[in-house]
Amino acid sequence: MRLYVTIFIKRFAIVLEFFITIMLGIGILLLCLRMGTSLASIPDLEVWPNYNDLLDTCFNLIIGVELIRMMYQHTPDTVFEVLLFAIARHIIIDNSSIFSSLIGVCAIAVLFATRKYLFCEFDITDEFIFRATTKVNAVNKIIHVNLPHDPGETLLDLITAKFDEFDTETGVGACVYIGDVGLRVAKMHEGKISRIEVIHAIH
């Protein structure tokens, strides 16, 4: 029961993120249209948008677009882009003092150094633990993967067949990979596999 609640919460969070992303995208699109229809007012500095307003609005819209990317990609690179544009906006728009600009430039340098030396490529994964007797067909439906299986085949049948195929010794932590899905022995009881962890890589 706890597994199903966890899966429901994860899927619900994804739906909420998707909804918020759509709302943000629609808002950005409407603001772009508003800005486009107001460009004729630029020569008049007393009417929006003057150049400073236009620059500020463009930066805000770009940051919004990067936020959309961050919400559906979930990678360190998208976070880096959002931070980079936010700091650049502060340096260019809010040029109140040379000290403030210097701090912004240093912050960008730190971001680039972090990206070069500390970032590493990795896959975001969903990990779920099932009983070994769970049908593979049910697992495919629950976590939206595509594990090959015969009718009525269980996770135990599948992982045992893969262990035999690759001559892998059975034990806690033993793992096989099928496409972008990994099957790992999570628990054994009296020498038999009782729990299997299904690891789904999200690229």
Q: Which two tokens stand for residue 94?
A: 């809010």
pLDDT of residue 44: 67
63 residue type, one letter? I
What backbone torsions phi and psi does residue 121 show, to the nearest 5 degrees? -75, 135
List per-block mean pLDDT (blocks of 10 residues) for the chain, which spans 203 residues.
Answer: 76 84 90 82 68 82 87 78 88 80 91 80 69 94 89 94 90 90 92 92 57
How many other C-beta atoms can be found within 10 angstroms of the C-beta atom of residue 27?
Answer: 12
Write down the pLDDT at residue 11: 79
Domains identified in the chain and CATH numbers: 2-117 (no CATH), 124-202 (3.30.465.10)
Phi-psi region of 175 (alpha: psi -120 to 50; beta: other; left: phi over 0): beta
- Name the DSSP letter for residue 184: E
Any residues with CB less than 8 A from the CB of 133 and at least 6 apart, and which?
A: 154, 155, 156
How far apart, in whole angstroms, are the C-alpha atoms of residue 58 and residue 98?
A: 23
pLDDT of 120 reads 58
pLDDT at position 133, please?
95
Predicted confidence at residue 132, as pLDDT, reads 94
Name the pTM for this structure.
Answer: 0.57
> How would you label 96-135 residue by residue, b for 16+ Cβ within 10 Å and e otherwise?
eeeeeeeebeebeeebeeeeeeeeeeeeeeeebebebebb
